[in-house]
């Protein structure tokens, strides 16, 4: 989606993410397993939403449906003007590359590319910026997340916190309006976690929307809204 | 789950095994057939050329100590016209060919032995000459009247070099037919077998010369003694060398196919690291886990063996039959010996197990903790520095190239397979050029268009005077020749070779010197040896002095030079030198035509023959240079092609190796590919990523193949030298060879990585999140 489409969506004060009666059923080994059960949820642009819940409650499933990584069995998933649930597979990757930035628990940087190259990779896929501007842009993003001095190192030479910062820079590569993060601090010590969470806070204040799955109570303090899931249902929704 | 990869591994092992098996089976078959077929025919140990062989003299030969048996026959060179083409024919006549004891013959179809007025054709001459049983052919000898004879049957003589290869029609005719052709009805060859079957060539030669002495003491003239290598068919040594060379490549292919098993088992282990961790955690010992995977490898081996053994038998029998055809044998009734099959089965089952040991031992050593912690993107051995320094291209391109270098061991094996295929391919093309070049060299020195052999020697000047007067003749020279043998210090004689005397300022022969100098006026007993003679007599070097028996007279000669030449052993001497031994008469005229084109040259040959006959100098046979060139080249290039076939074999195995390497790479990087999709990689990007990685390996192998082709060309040239004849080595590839191989490598790389790329494209983005 384009930035102007996003702008008009925000101007209407319509929610950026709109889930309606979303159900996700996995074909289990014995019986089908319902990971999300008739979930409806609206998230407005600029919100920092923490998603919590027990293990197996459906948090990651929710994230993957919003990211278009997986498809809902029933219901509607809209992000801005895009109906993600019905987007043809061929267009999905393209949309995702431009509209969503994803941060993973295990960082998932490409081990054979340097930090800067990892950040440039989504730009290469998306092709929104001219090739010769990409490196400068990557360096600016690394600067912004505080690891500019590590730009030319391979991920294996970086600490966990540094790797996660590079991963965040990569998620921001194509300037997506929406960031999704699945337990991004799950593999970091508490001090590093805290600084990564502050970074997320700054990113949200600069006008982005963040959906952050977390187990860590510390994370909730940074969020503007907390959504709790249990057995695939929404059990609480509170704003700070 | 590993269906594709298992299939690839089985195909690769089958390819290697089937190739090795084919070579082995054909070798075993041909060996059995030669042993039983050739030796069973009781081939002649020696052949003496004589004026005549009355029965009393045969008894004399049989009485020579060491001789077991002797027989006489007549061999006659004739012209045969069938279906409008005229070919050279060798006619063999003996009292009852079906009762021949030495070099026994076997009737294959039609009448045997041929009745009056009929001819039986030797099997190997049938196809190329187009003669058919029941049809008539026209025979003529010298300028005698042509005689029409009916082809009444086909027989096989396993002792003859195949007619199709020699471009000669072999026929068996009764004495009556010879008489009608104007040929004296007496034998001109005595063939004998020695008592002691274990004698070597020198030993047989001693016996043969004792027989010659006995004949000469009885007043008979013996003009030549020929002793082949005992117990070996004319082309047997060549075949052995060929099969040995091919066998070496087949073994290489087999070893490379084992590497696919390494890949497969490694892939299985990669996918089951956590299961192994769990098994270990609950108390399974490494040995138990290892046994599991080795059993899988053994099962693969069994499957591959079951498939490849029958393929090898079928292909080996076919290939053996082709070889047998070259040796003029028939394989019917022979089957692949059991030991060859048992050997293949053993290798087939054990090789995969041995190959699987590498990854299994590595996998089982992994600690439980490491195994259970198998979650993120695998950060395996990183690419070497120079590859990391690469810049100036997009990240996906960088990724493809760097990924190619990620698993170096695996890459090295893939490169080895592909680049050795390339080296053999380019080497074979180089060899082809070298062979072409050396036939060029041989035939470039012959500046005439055809040669005529006259029935009797005549004065060279009268011969050339007659021929030059024929319209359309641009030049003619009379060449005289004799046969010679080396009289060794140990009292034995070498095999015969021909000595050619050319006019002093010959324009129809232009020597290409390879050492020393050409003949000079004033040279007395000087000779220049051609390649074929150097090969037959390794003692011959520039400056060496040899005792030769030329036309029956012994003298000491000096080797003054060597020239490039074909496989026929030949020496060049001056007319004056030869005149002292064989007289001044010349037996052949070589002619350059003023006009080109086959038809007009054939016409010119006819007119020249007529002119010579008119002047009382009848012609016995004629040969166009172009024709003898073609048959020589065909002969040589076929062996080159047999060697070149190995390149295709290696390419198949190399391609399969690349395919399996790419497939396992995709498998190992499933999560990484999921991440790429999650951050926006489209189908096309993922597809290109994998294809570019395969192409990187392919192109690298191409680059490695170039320098590797230099020693390979030398090696193939060496092998060819042993199989056929030495050719000047041409170690450096030409642009065409490099280009063709480049195109092949690109196609094979793209094909080999197509399926892995397809699989990569199907990896869902969700794999990036799945930690289970
Ligand atoms: N691909 C799948 N196939 C089958 N079942 C699945 C699949 N993915 C998830 N599930 C099941 O759906 C349920 C919800 O999974 P999900 O990963 O969303 O939980 P989660 O809240 O993220 O848990 P955790 O905190 O452990 O990450 C779980 O019971 C899980 O086993
Ligand atoms: Mg989860």
In the DSSP assignment, the letter for residue B76 is E
Ligand 1 test: best mutation among A58, A214, A215, most atoms within 8 Å of CB? A58
B461-491 pLDDT, tens digit per residue, is 999 999 999 999 999 999 988 878 787 776 5
| Residues facing B122 on adjacent strands | B155
Neighbouring residues of the ion ligand 2, judged by CB less than 5 Å: A 60
In the DSSP assignment, the letter for residue B397 is H
Instruction: Please tell me the predicted confidence (pLDDT) of residue B373.
Output: 55
Predicted confidence band of residue A5 (pLDDT cuts 50, 70, 90): very low
Our answer on whether the CB atom of A60 is closer than 6 Å to any ligand 1 atom is: yes
Contact: B678, A69; criterion CB under 8 Å:
yes
Instruction: Please tell me the predicted confidence (pLDDT) of residue B271.
Output: 67
Contact: A70, B395; criterion CB under 8 Å:
no
> Which of A50 and B441 is assigned the larger pLDDT?
A50
Ligand 1 test: best mutation among A22, A30, A35, most atoms within 8 Å of CB? A35
Find the ligand nearest to A70 CA: 1
Give the chain A residue nearest B671 (alpha carbons): A108
Q: How far is CA B738 from CA A45, B47, B164, B734, in A?
A: 60, 50, 34, 6
Instruction: Please tell me the predicted confidence (pLDDT) of residue B332.
Output: 75
Contact: B681, A117; criterion CB under 8 Å:
no
B680, B760, B765: best to mutate for the A interface, most A CBs within 10 A: B680
Contact: A93, B672; criterion CB under 8 Å:
no
In the DSSP assignment, the letter for residue B146 is P
Task: Please give the number of the atom of ligand 1 that sits closest to the Cα of A58.
Answer: 18
Task: Say if residue A3's pLDDT is above 60.
Answer: no
Task: Tell how far the Cα of A60 is from the centroid of ligand 1, in angstroms.
Answer: 7
Domains belonging to chain A, first-starting first, are 46-69+93-239 (3.40.50.300)
Give the chain B residue nearest A60 (alpha carbons): B769
State which residues of chain B have pLDDT below 70: 1-2, 4, 84-85, 165-166, 234-235, 238, 271, 274, 283, 366-392, 490-496, 567, 770-772
Instruction: Please tell me the predicted confidence (pLDDT) of residue B492.
Output: 61
Predicted confidence band of residue A62 (pLDDT cuts 50, 70, 90): very high
Find the ligand nearest to A62 CA: 1
Quick check: B226 and B569 in contact, CB under 8 A?
no
Nearest Cβ partner for B396 among A107, A124, A182: A124
At a CB cut-off of 8 Å and minimum separation 6, what does B44 contact?
A: B102, B103, B159, B191, B192, B193
The closest of B505, B504, B506, B527 to B515, measured between CA atoms, is B527
The closest of A202, A189, A137 to A162, measured between CA atoms, is A189
Our answer on whether the CB atom of A35 is closer than 6 Å to any ligand 1 atom is: yes
Quick check: B22 and B202 in contact, CB under 8 A?
no
Our answer on whether the CB atom of A58 is closer than 6 Å to any ligand 1 atom is: yes
β-pairing, B168-172 with B118-122? antiparallel
Our answer on whether the CB atom of A55 is closer than 6 Å to any ligand 1 atom is: yes
Residue B385, chain A, CB below 8 Å: the answer is no
Find the ligand nearest to A69 CA: 1
Residue A112, chain B, CB below 8 Å: the answer is yes
Chain A from 172 to 231: CB within 8 A of any B CB: 173-174, 182
B152-164 pLDDT, tens digit per residue, is 999 988 888 777 7
Task: Tell how far the Cα of B344 is from the centroid of ligand 1, in angstroms.
Answer: 51
Nearest Cβ partner for B399 among A68, A112, A171: A112
Nearest Cβ partner for B682 among A94, A110, A156: A94
Q: Which two tokens stand for residue B68?
A: 């077991």
Question: CA dihedral defined by B139, B140, B146, B152, rounded to 10 degrees?
Answer: -20
Contact: A104, B675; criterion CB under 8 Å:
yes
CA distance B422 to chain A (A): 29
Contact: A154, B395; criterion CB under 8 Å:
no
Task: Say if residue A96's pLDDT is above 80.
Answer: yes
Instruction: Please tell me the predicted confidence (pLDDT) of residue B742.
Output: 95
Our answer on whether the CB atom of A68 is closer than 6 Å to any ligand 1 atom is: no
Give the chain B residue nearest A179 (alpha carbons): B679
Q: Which two tokens stand for residue B347?
A: 């290798």
Residue B323 phi/psi, 5-degree rounding, is -60, -45
How many Å apart are CA B370 and CA B272, to the nearest integer?
13
Tally A–B CB contacts below 8 A: 109
Find the ligand nearest to A64 CA: 1
Protein residue closest via CA to atom 2 of ligand 1: A26
Nearest Cβ partner for A112 among B403, B685, B769: B403
Q: Which two tokens stand for residue B161?
A: 């070099």
The closest of B402, B323, B337, B425 to B651, measured between CA atoms, is B425
Protein residue closest via CA to atom 3 of ligand 1: A26
Task: Tell how far the Cα of B284 is from the centroid of ligand 1, in angstroms.
Answer: 29
Our answer on whether the CB atom of A53 is closer than 6 Å to any ligand 1 atom is: yes
β-pairing, B553-563 with B450-458? unpaired
Find the ligand nearest to A35 CA: 1
Give the chain B residue nearest A107 (alpha carbons): B376
Torsion sign, CA atoms B63, B69, B71, B77:
negative
How many Å apart are CA B90 and CA B119, to the nearest integer?
12
| Residues facing B557 on adjacent strands | B546
Protein residue closest via CA to atom 7 of ligand 1: A26
Quick check: B194 and B62 in contact, CB under 8 A?
no
How many Å apart are CA B272 and CA B308, to the nearest integer?
30
**CA B708 from chain center: how many Å?**
22
CA distance A156 to chain B (A): 8
Torsion sign, CA atoms B565, B566, B571, B574:
negative
Give the chain A residue nearest B398 (alpha carbons): A113
Q: Which two tokens stand for residue B748?
A: 């094979």
CA distance B405 to chain A (A): 10
The closest of B58, B49, B51, B73 to B174, measured between CA atoms, is B73
Q: Which two tokens stand for residue B413?
A: 């094996």
The beta-strand segments (E) located in B227-297 are none
């Amino acid at each position: 989606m384009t930035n102007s489409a996003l702008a008009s969506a925000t101007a209407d004060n319509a929610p950026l993410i709109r889930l309606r009666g979303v159900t996700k059923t996995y074909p289990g080994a014995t019986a089908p397993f319902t990971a999300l059960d008739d979930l409806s949820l609206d998230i407005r642009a600029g919100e920092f939403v923490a998603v919590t819940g027990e293990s197996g409650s459906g948090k990651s499933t929710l994230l993957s449906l919003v990211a278009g990584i997986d498809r809902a069995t029933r219901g509607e998933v809209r992000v801005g003007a895009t109906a993600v649930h019905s987007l043809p597979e061929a267009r999905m990757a393209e949309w995702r590359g431009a509209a969503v930035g994803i941060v993973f628990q295990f960082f998932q940087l490409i081990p054979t590319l340097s930090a800067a190259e990892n950040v440039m990779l989504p730009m290469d896929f998306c092709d929104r910026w001219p090739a010769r501007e990409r490196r400068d842009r990557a360096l600016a993003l690394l600067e912004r997340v505080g690891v500019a001095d590590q730009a030319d190192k391979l991920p294996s030479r970086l600490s966990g916190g540094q790797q996660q910062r590079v991963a965040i820079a990569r998620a921001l590569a194509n300037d997506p309006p929406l960031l999704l993060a699945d337990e991004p601090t799950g593999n970091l010590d508490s001090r590093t976690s805290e600084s990564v969470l502050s970074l997320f806070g700054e990113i949200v204040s600069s006008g982005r929307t963040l959906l952050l799955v977390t187990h860590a109570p510390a994370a909730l303090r940074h969020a503007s809204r907390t959504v709790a899931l249990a057995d695939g249902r929404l059990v609480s929704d509170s704003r700070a | 789950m590993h269906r594709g990869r298992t299939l690839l591994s089985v195909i690769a092992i089958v390819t290697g095994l089937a190739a090795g098996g084919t070579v082995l089976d054909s070798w075993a078959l041909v060996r059995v057939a030669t042993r039983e077929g050739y030796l069973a025919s009781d081939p002649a140990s020696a052949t003496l050329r004589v004026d005549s062989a009355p029965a009393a003299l045969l008894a004399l030969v049989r009485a020579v100590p060491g001789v077991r048996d002797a027989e006489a026959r007549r061999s006659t060179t004739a012209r045969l016209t069938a279906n409008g083409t005229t070919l050279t024919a060798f006619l063999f006549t003996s009292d009852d060919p079906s009762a021949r004891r030495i070099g026994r013959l076997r009737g294959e179809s039609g009448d045997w032995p041929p009745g009056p007025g009929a001819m039986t054709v030797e099997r190997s001459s049938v196809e190329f000459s187009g003669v058919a049983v029941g049809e008539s052919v026209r025979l003529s000898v010298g300028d005698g009247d042509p005689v029409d004879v009916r082809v009444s049957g086909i027989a096989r003589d396993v002792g003859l070099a195949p007619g199709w290869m020699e471009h000669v029609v072999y026929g068996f005719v009764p004495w009556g037919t010879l008489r009608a052709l104007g040929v004296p009805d007496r034998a001109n060859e005595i063939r004998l077998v020695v008592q002691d079957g274990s004698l070597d060539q020198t030993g047989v030669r001693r016996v043969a010369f004792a027989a010659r002495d006995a004949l000469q003491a009885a007043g008979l003239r013996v003009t030549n003694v020929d002793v082949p290598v005992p117990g070996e068919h004319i082309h047997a040594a060549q075949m052995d060398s060929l099969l040995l060379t091919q066998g070496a490549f087949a073994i290489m292919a087999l070893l490379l196919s084992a590497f696919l098993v390494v890949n497969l088992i490694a892939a299985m282990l990669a996918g089951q690291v956590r299961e192994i961790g769990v098994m270990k955690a609950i108390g399974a010992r490494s040995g138990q886990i290892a046994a599991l995977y080795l059993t899988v490898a053994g099962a693969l081996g069994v499957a591959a063996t079951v498939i490849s053994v029958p393929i090898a038998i079928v292909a080996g029998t076919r290939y053996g039959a082709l070889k047998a055809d070259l040796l003029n044998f028939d394989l019917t009734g022979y089957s692949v010996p059991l030991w060859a099959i048992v050997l293949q089965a053993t290798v087939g089952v054990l090789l995969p197990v041995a190959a699987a040991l590498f990854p299994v031992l590595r996998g089982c050593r992994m600690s439980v903790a490491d195994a259970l912690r198998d979650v993120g993107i695998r950060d395996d051995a990183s690419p070497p520095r120079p590859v990391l320094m690469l810049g100036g291209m997009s990240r996906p391109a960088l990724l493809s190239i760097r990924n190619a270098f990620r698993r170096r061991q695996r890459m090295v094996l893939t490169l080895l397979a592909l680049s050795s295929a390339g080296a053999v391919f380019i080497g074979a093309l180089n060899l082809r050029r070298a062979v072409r070049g050396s036939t060029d060299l041989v035939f470039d020195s012959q500046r005439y268009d055809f040669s005529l052999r006259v029935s009797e020697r005549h004065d060279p000047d009268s011969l050339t005077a007659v021929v030059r007067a024929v319209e359309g003749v641009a030049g003619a020279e009379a060449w005289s020749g004799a046969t010679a043998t080396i009289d060794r210090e140990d009292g034995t004689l070498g095999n015969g070779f021909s000595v050619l005397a050319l006019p002093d300022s010959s324009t129809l022969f232009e020597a290409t010197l390879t050492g020393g100098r050409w003949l000079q006026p004033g040279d007395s007993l000087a000779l220049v040896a051609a390649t074929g003679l150097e090969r037959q007599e390794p003692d011959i070097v520039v400056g060496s002095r040899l005792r030769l028996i030329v036309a029956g007279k012994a003298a000491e000669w000096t080797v003054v030079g060597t020239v490039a030449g074909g496989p026929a052993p030949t020496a060049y001497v001056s007319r004056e030198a030869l005149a002292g031994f064989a007289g001044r008469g010349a037996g052949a005229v070589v002619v350059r035509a003023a006009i080109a084109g086959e038809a007009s040259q054939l016409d010119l040959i006819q007119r020249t023959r007529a002119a010579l006959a008119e002047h009382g100098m009848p012609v016995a046979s004629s040969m166009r240079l172009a024709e003898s060139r073609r048959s020589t080249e065909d002969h040589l290039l076929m062996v080159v092609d047999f060697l070149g076939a190995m390149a295709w074999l290696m390419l198949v195995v190399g391609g399969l190796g690349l395919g399996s390497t790419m497939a396992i790479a995709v498998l190992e990087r499933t999560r990484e590919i999921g991440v790429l999709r999650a951050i926006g990689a489209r189908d096309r990007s993922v597809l290109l990523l994998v294809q570019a990685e395969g192409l990187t390996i392919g192109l690298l192998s191409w680059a490695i193949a170039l320098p590797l082709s230099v020693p390979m060309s030398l090696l193939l040239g060496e092998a060819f030298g042993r199989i056929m004849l030495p050719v000047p080595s041409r170690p450096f590839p030409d642009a065409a060879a490099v280009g063709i191989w480049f195109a092949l490598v690109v196609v094979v790389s793209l094909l080999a990585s197509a399926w892995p790329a397809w699989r990569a494209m199907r990896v869902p983005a969700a794999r990036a999140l799945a930690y289970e």
